[in-house]
Structure 1
Protein backbone atom coordinates (compact mmCIF):
# COMPACT_ATOMS: atom_id res chain seq x y z
CA UNK A 1 0.00 0.00 0.00
CA UNK A 2 1.42 3.31 -1.07
CA UNK A 3 0.52 6.73 0.35
CA UNK A 4 0.20 9.26 -2.48
CA UNK A 5 0.45 13.04 -2.12
CA UNK A 6 -2.29 14.61 -4.20
CA UNK A 7 -2.12 18.19 -5.51
CA UNK A 8 -5.90 18.11 -5.82
CA UNK A 9 -8.70 17.66 -3.33
CA UNK A 10 -11.82 15.70 -4.22
CA UNK A 11 -14.57 18.00 -5.48
CA UNK A 12 -16.70 17.26 -2.39
CA UNK A 13 -13.85 17.82 0.08
CA UNK A 14 -14.69 19.99 3.06
CA UNK A 15 -11.14 21.40 2.81
CA UNK A 16 -11.92 23.13 -0.48
CA UNK A 17 -13.25 26.20 1.36
CA UNK A 18 -9.89 26.56 3.14
CA UNK A 19 -7.95 26.19 -0.10
CA UNK A 20 -10.15 28.87 -1.69
CA UNK A 21 -9.38 31.18 1.27
CA UNK A 22 -5.59 30.82 0.70
CA UNK A 23 -5.01 28.50 3.65
CA UNK A 24 -2.23 25.94 3.35
CA UNK A 25 -3.86 22.63 2.43
CA UNK A 26 -2.48 19.23 1.68
CA UNK A 27 -4.03 15.90 0.78
CA UNK A 28 -2.77 12.35 0.82
CA UNK A 29 -4.57 9.17 -0.13
CA UNK A 30 -4.16 5.45 0.24
CA UNK A 31 -6.21 2.82 -1.59
CA UNK A 32 -7.17 -0.20 0.53
CA UNK A 33 -9.13 -3.34 -0.29
CA UNK A 34 -12.73 -3.69 0.86
CA UNK A 35 -15.39 -1.25 1.90
CA UNK A 36 -14.31 1.04 4.76
CA UNK A 37 -16.78 3.29 6.54
CA UNK A 38 -15.85 6.72 7.84
CA UNK A 39 -16.46 5.49 11.38
CA UNK A 40 -14.06 2.58 10.95
CA UNK A 41 -11.43 4.87 9.42
CA UNK A 42 -11.70 7.47 12.20
CA UNK A 43 -11.35 4.79 14.88
CA UNK A 44 -8.35 3.24 13.14
CA UNK A 45 -6.65 6.59 12.54
CA UNK A 46 -6.89 7.94 16.08
CA UNK A 47 -5.91 4.65 17.77
CA UNK A 48 -2.73 3.82 15.84
CA UNK A 49 0.44 3.59 17.93
CA UNK A 50 1.84 6.57 15.98
CA UNK A 51 -1.16 8.76 16.79
CA UNK A 52 -1.12 7.59 20.41
CA UNK A 53 2.30 9.24 20.68
CA UNK A 54 0.74 12.52 19.55
CA UNK A 55 -2.05 12.03 22.07
CA UNK A 56 0.55 11.59 24.82
CA UNK A 57 2.29 14.81 23.81
CA UNK A 58 -1.03 16.68 23.82
CA UNK A 59 -1.95 15.31 27.23
CA UNK A 60 1.43 16.29 28.64
CA UNK A 61 2.06 19.67 27.03
CA UNK A 62 -1.40 21.20 26.68
CA UNK A 63 -3.50 19.16 29.13
CA UNK A 64 -5.68 17.63 26.39
CA UNK A 65 -5.82 13.93 27.31
CA UNK A 66 -7.73 11.37 25.27
CA UNK A 67 -8.42 7.65 25.22
CA UNK A 68 -9.19 4.92 22.72
CA UNK A 69 -12.76 4.84 24.08
CA UNK A 70 -13.11 8.54 23.23
CA UNK A 71 -11.70 7.90 19.74
CA UNK A 72 -14.32 5.18 19.21
CA UNK A 73 -17.08 7.49 20.50
CA UNK A 74 -15.91 10.19 18.06
CA UNK A 75 -15.92 7.63 15.26
CA UNK A 76 -19.49 6.62 16.14
CA UNK A 77 -20.62 10.25 16.16
CA UNK A 78 -21.29 10.13 19.91
CA UNK A 79 -18.92 12.96 20.79
CA UNK A 80 -17.70 16.11 19.09
CA UNK A 81 -14.50 16.68 21.09
CA UNK A 82 -11.39 14.54 21.00
CA UNK A 83 -8.05 15.48 22.55
CA UNK A 84 -7.16 18.94 21.20
CA UNK A 85 -9.83 18.93 18.47
CA UNK A 86 -13.50 19.62 17.97
CA UNK A 87 -15.59 18.46 15.06
CA UNK A 88 -16.06 21.42 12.74
CA UNK A 89 -18.00 19.59 10.03
CA UNK A 90 -18.97 16.03 9.25
CA UNK A 91 -21.01 14.10 6.72
CA UNK A 92 -21.28 10.40 5.85
CA UNK A 93 -17.95 10.37 4.01
CA UNK A 94 -15.71 12.91 5.79
CA UNK A 95 -14.91 14.82 8.93
CA UNK A 96 -13.01 18.04 9.63
CA UNK A 97 -11.51 18.53 13.08
CA UNK A 98 -10.46 21.99 14.32
CA UNK A 99 -7.69 22.37 16.89
CA UNK A 100 -8.34 24.22 20.16
CA UNK A 101 -6.38 27.27 18.96
CA UNK A 102 -8.45 27.38 15.72
CA UNK A 103 -5.25 27.44 13.63
CA UNK A 104 -5.26 23.99 12.00
CA UNK A 105 -7.76 21.54 10.59
CA UNK A 106 -7.47 17.79 10.11
CA UNK A 107 -9.57 16.11 7.44
CA UNK A 108 -10.41 12.44 6.93
CA UNK A 109 -12.50 11.13 4.04
CA UNK A 110 -13.49 7.75 2.61
CA UNK A 111 -14.21 7.34 -1.09
CA UNK A 112 -15.44 4.07 -2.61
CA UNK A 113 -13.40 3.08 -5.66
CA UNK A 114 -15.22 2.01 -8.84
CA UNK A 115 -13.10 -1.16 -9.16
CA UNK A 116 -13.70 -2.05 -5.51
CA UNK A 117 -11.89 -1.00 -2.38
CA UNK A 118 -11.79 2.35 -0.65
CA UNK A 119 -9.63 5.42 -1.03
CA UNK A 120 -8.68 6.81 2.40
CA UNK A 121 -7.93 10.54 2.34
CA UNK A 122 -6.10 12.54 4.97
CA UNK A 123 -5.32 16.19 4.75
CA UNK A 124 -4.74 19.34 6.70
CA UNK A 125 -5.42 23.02 6.50
CA UNK A 126 -3.44 25.75 8.25
CA UNK A 127 -5.22 29.08 8.47
CA UNK A 128 -2.87 31.89 7.43
CA UNK A 129 -1.68 34.34 10.03
CA UNK A 130 -1.77 37.01 7.36
CA UNK A 131 -2.00 37.47 3.62
CA UNK A 132 0.06 40.38 2.30
CA UNK A 133 -1.30 42.76 -0.37
CA UNK A 134 0.77 40.94 -3.00
CA UNK A 135 -1.00 37.68 -2.09
CA UNK A 136 1.89 36.12 -0.18
CA UNK A 137 0.63 33.87 2.61
CA UNK A 138 2.33 33.68 6.02
CA UNK A 139 1.24 30.77 8.16
CA UNK A 140 2.86 32.01 11.34
CA UNK A 141 5.83 31.37 13.56
CA UNK A 142 7.13 27.86 13.04
CA UNK A 143 4.36 26.68 10.71
CA UNK A 144 6.15 27.59 7.47
CA UNK A 145 9.31 25.81 8.59
CA UNK A 146 7.55 22.66 9.80
CA UNK A 147 5.66 21.85 6.57
CA UNK A 148 8.22 19.25 5.33
CA UNK A 149 8.10 17.41 8.67
CA UNK A 150 4.30 17.71 8.76
CA UNK A 151 4.03 16.14 5.30
CA UNK A 152 6.25 13.22 6.32
CA UNK A 153 4.26 12.70 9.53
CA UNK A 154 0.97 12.86 7.58
CA UNK A 155 2.16 10.06 5.32
CA UNK A 156 3.07 7.99 8.37
CA UNK A 157 -0.32 8.58 10.01
CA UNK A 158 -2.26 7.60 6.88
CA UNK A 159 -0.11 4.52 6.31
CA UNK A 160 -0.60 3.40 9.91
CA UNK A 161 -4.38 3.89 9.68
CA UNK A 162 -4.49 2.02 6.37
CA UNK A 163 -2.81 -0.99 7.95
CA UNK A 164 -5.42 -1.00 10.76
CA UNK A 165 -8.54 -0.89 8.61
Structure 2
Protein backbone atom coordinates (compact mmCIF):
# COMPACT_ATOMS: atom_id res chain seq x y z
CA UNK A 1 0.00 0.00 0.00
CA UNK A 2 1.21 3.51 -0.78
CA UNK A 3 0.00 6.41 1.31
CA UNK A 4 -3.62 5.65 0.37
CA UNK A 5 -5.09 2.21 -0.36
CA UNK A 6 -8.12 1.46 -2.49
CA UNK A 7 -11.68 2.03 -1.30
CA UNK A 8 -13.57 -1.14 -0.45
CA UNK A 9 -17.02 -1.91 0.86
CA UNK A 10 -16.87 -2.41 4.62
CA UNK A 11 -18.90 -4.34 7.13
CA UNK A 12 -21.22 -2.44 9.43
CA UNK A 13 -20.32 -3.07 13.07
CA UNK A 14 -23.53 -3.05 15.12
CA UNK A 15 -22.00 -0.82 17.83
CA UNK A 16 -21.16 2.03 15.44
CA UNK A 17 -23.04 5.31 15.56
CA UNK A 18 -24.22 4.57 12.02
CA UNK A 19 -26.35 1.75 13.38
CA UNK A 20 -27.04 2.64 17.02
CA UNK A 21 -28.81 5.98 16.47
CA UNK A 22 -32.60 5.50 16.63
CA UNK A 23 -34.74 5.13 13.54
CA UNK A 24 -35.40 2.52 10.90
CA UNK A 25 -32.98 2.52 8.01
CA UNK A 26 -34.12 1.84 4.44
CA UNK A 27 -30.51 1.67 3.20
CA UNK A 28 -27.07 1.60 4.85
CA UNK A 29 -23.61 1.41 3.37
CA UNK A 30 -20.05 1.68 4.59
CA UNK A 31 -16.84 2.29 2.67
CA UNK A 32 -13.30 1.88 4.04
CA UNK A 33 -9.90 3.06 2.89
CA UNK A 34 -6.56 2.39 4.60
CA UNK A 35 -4.02 5.19 4.80
CA UNK A 36 -0.40 4.96 5.90
CA UNK A 37 -0.46 8.13 7.97
CA UNK A 38 -2.02 8.32 11.46
CA UNK A 39 -5.16 10.28 10.61
CA UNK A 40 -7.45 11.44 13.40
CA UNK A 41 -11.17 12.10 13.17
CA UNK A 42 -10.71 15.88 12.93
CA UNK A 43 -8.49 15.51 9.85
CA UNK A 44 -11.01 13.15 8.24
CA UNK A 45 -13.97 15.47 8.86
CA UNK A 46 -12.14 18.51 7.50
CA UNK A 47 -10.79 16.56 4.52
CA UNK A 48 -14.16 15.01 3.68
CA UNK A 49 -16.17 18.23 3.64
CA UNK A 50 -13.45 20.27 1.88
CA UNK A 51 -12.37 17.62 -0.65
CA UNK A 52 -12.56 18.16 -4.40
CA UNK A 53 -15.14 15.40 -4.77
CA UNK A 54 -17.48 17.10 -2.26
CA UNK A 55 -17.30 20.55 -3.94
CA UNK A 56 -20.18 19.84 -6.35
CA UNK A 57 -22.42 18.77 -3.50
CA UNK A 58 -21.54 21.91 -1.56
CA UNK A 59 -22.45 24.04 -4.59
CA UNK A 60 -25.79 22.25 -4.92
CA UNK A 61 -26.46 22.75 -1.21
CA UNK A 62 -25.54 26.43 -1.49
CA UNK A 63 -28.19 26.77 -4.21
CA UNK A 64 -30.85 25.78 -1.66
CA UNK A 65 -29.35 27.91 1.10
CA UNK A 66 -27.60 25.02 2.88
CA UNK A 67 -24.02 25.50 1.74
CA UNK A 68 -21.04 25.55 4.04
CA UNK A 69 -17.58 27.07 3.95
CA UNK A 70 -14.17 25.50 4.51
CA UNK A 71 -13.98 27.43 7.79
CA UNK A 72 -17.29 25.98 8.96
CA UNK A 73 -16.06 22.48 8.06
CA UNK A 74 -12.97 23.11 10.17
CA UNK A 75 -15.12 24.24 13.12
CA UNK A 76 -17.12 20.99 12.91
CA UNK A 77 -13.87 19.01 12.64
CA UNK A 78 -12.47 20.65 15.76
CA UNK A 79 -15.68 20.11 17.72
CA UNK A 80 -16.38 23.85 17.91
CA UNK A 81 -19.63 23.59 15.89
CA UNK A 82 -22.55 21.18 15.80
CA UNK A 83 -23.68 22.02 12.26
CA UNK A 84 -22.19 22.09 8.80
CA UNK A 85 -24.10 22.92 5.62
CA UNK A 86 -27.18 20.66 5.55
CA UNK A 87 -26.08 18.49 8.50
CA UNK A 88 -26.38 18.57 12.26
CA UNK A 89 -24.26 16.45 14.53
CA UNK A 90 -26.32 13.69 16.16
CA UNK A 91 -23.47 12.23 18.20
CA UNK A 92 -19.70 12.24 18.30
CA UNK A 93 -17.24 9.85 19.89
CA UNK A 94 -13.46 9.91 19.93
CA UNK A 95 -13.18 8.10 16.57
CA UNK A 96 -16.55 8.62 14.87
CA UNK A 97 -19.21 11.22 14.12
CA UNK A 98 -22.81 10.87 12.97
CA UNK A 99 -24.57 13.73 11.18
CA UNK A 100 -28.18 13.99 10.04
CA UNK A 101 -29.51 16.13 7.20
CA UNK A 102 -31.96 18.97 7.84
CA UNK A 103 -34.89 16.85 6.64
CA UNK A 104 -34.02 13.92 8.90
CA UNK A 105 -33.86 11.57 5.92
CA UNK A 106 -30.15 10.79 5.53
CA UNK A 107 -27.27 10.31 7.91
CA UNK A 108 -23.58 10.71 7.20
CA UNK A 109 -21.07 8.75 9.28
CA UNK A 110 -17.31 9.21 9.38
CA UNK A 111 -14.91 7.13 11.45
CA UNK A 112 -11.23 6.39 11.92
CA UNK A 113 -9.84 3.08 13.17
CA UNK A 114 -6.13 3.36 13.98
CA UNK A 115 -3.81 0.38 14.06
CA UNK A 116 -0.03 0.03 14.44
CA UNK A 117 0.63 0.11 10.68
CA UNK A 118 -2.16 2.21 9.18
CA UNK A 119 -5.47 3.95 9.85
CA UNK A 120 -8.74 2.85 8.30
CA UNK A 121 -10.94 5.77 7.24
CA UNK A 122 -14.65 4.97 6.97
CA UNK A 123 -17.62 6.74 5.42
CA UNK A 124 -21.17 5.48 5.68
CA UNK A 125 -24.61 6.61 4.66
CA UNK A 126 -27.98 5.70 6.10
CA UNK A 127 -31.23 6.55 4.36
CA UNK A 128 -34.00 6.61 6.90
CA UNK A 129 -37.24 4.81 6.09
CA UNK A 130 -40.30 6.94 5.64
CA UNK A 131 -43.53 5.26 6.62
CA UNK A 132 -47.04 5.88 5.47
CA UNK A 133 -49.25 4.88 2.64
CA UNK A 134 -49.64 8.35 1.21
CA UNK A 135 -48.21 8.93 -2.27
CA UNK A 136 -45.45 11.29 -1.10
CA UNK A 137 -43.91 8.67 1.23
CA UNK A 138 -44.04 5.95 -1.44
CA UNK A 139 -42.64 8.29 -4.08
CA UNK A 140 -39.80 9.48 -1.84
CA UNK A 141 -38.81 5.92 -0.87
CA UNK A 142 -38.80 4.93 -4.55
CA UNK A 143 -36.68 7.96 -5.46
CA UNK A 144 -34.08 7.11 -2.80
CA UNK A 145 -33.93 3.48 -4.00
CA UNK A 146 -33.48 4.66 -7.60
CA UNK A 147 -30.49 6.80 -6.58
CA UNK A 148 -28.60 4.02 -4.77
CA UNK A 149 -26.78 2.76 -7.92
CA UNK A 150 -25.46 6.31 -8.45
CA UNK A 151 -24.70 6.85 -4.77
CA UNK A 152 -22.36 3.87 -4.48
CA UNK A 153 -19.65 5.07 -6.93
CA UNK A 154 -20.09 8.62 -5.63
CA UNK A 155 -19.53 7.44 -2.04
CA UNK A 156 -16.36 5.62 -3.12
CA UNK A 157 -15.10 8.75 -4.90
CA UNK A 158 -15.89 10.90 -1.85
CA UNK A 159 -13.90 8.67 0.48
CA UNK A 160 -10.95 8.38 -1.91
CA UNK A 161 -10.82 12.16 -2.35
CA UNK A 162 -11.10 12.69 1.42
CA UNK A 163 -8.39 10.08 2.11
CA UNK A 164 -5.91 11.83 -0.18
CA UNK A 165 -6.72 15.21 1.33
CA UNK A 166 -6.52 13.86 4.90
CA UNK A 167 -3.03 12.52 4.21
CA UNK A 168 -1.99 15.94 2.85
CA UNK A 169 -3.48 17.69 5.91
CA UNK A 170 -1.63 15.30 8.21
CA UNK A 171 1.66 15.79 6.35
CA UNK A 172 1.24 19.57 6.63
CA UNK A 173 0.50 19.32 10.35
CA UNK A 174 3.57 17.13 10.96
CA UNK A 175 5.86 19.41 8.94
CA UNK A 176 4.50 22.48 10.71
CA UNK A 177 3.17 24.05 7.50
Q: What TM bracket, shorter-length normalisation?
A: 0.7 to 0.9
**Is residue 35 of structure 2 the alignment partner of residue 32 of structure 1?**
yes
Residue 41 of structure 1 corresponds to which residue in structure 2? 44
Structure 1's consecutive aligned runs of 4 or more residues displaced over 3 angstroms after TM superposition are 18-23
Residue 78 of structure 1 corresponds to which residue in structure 2? 80
Q: Distance in 2 between matches of 1:12 and 1:70?
A: 29
Given that 2:41 and 2:111 are in contact with CA atoms closer than 8 Å, whether structure 1 keeps it comes out as: yes
Structure whose residues are more often helix by fraction? 2
> The residue matched to 2:157 in structure 1 has which SS?
helix
Given that 1:138 and 1:144 are in contact with CA atoms closer than 8 Å, whether structure 2 keeps it comes out as: no
Q: What does 1:45-124 align with in structure 2 at a 5 Å threshold?
A: 45-60=48-63, 62-113=64-115, 115-124=116-125
Residue 163 of structure 1 corresponds to which residue in structure 2? 164
User: Could you state the TM-score of these two structures normalised by the residue count of structure 1?
Assistant: 0.88
Unaligned runs of 5+ in 2: 167-177
Cα RMSD for the two superposed structures:
2.1
Count of residue pairs the alignment pairs up: 158
Unaligned runs of 5+ in 1: none
Deviation of the 1:35 alpha carbon: 1.0
Q: Distance in 1 between matches of 2:30 and 2:140?
A: 17
User: Could you state the TM-score of these two structures normalised by the residue count of structure 2?
Assistant: 0.82
Deviation of the 1:23 alpha carbon: 3.3
> The residue matched to 2:67 in structure 1 has which SS?
coil
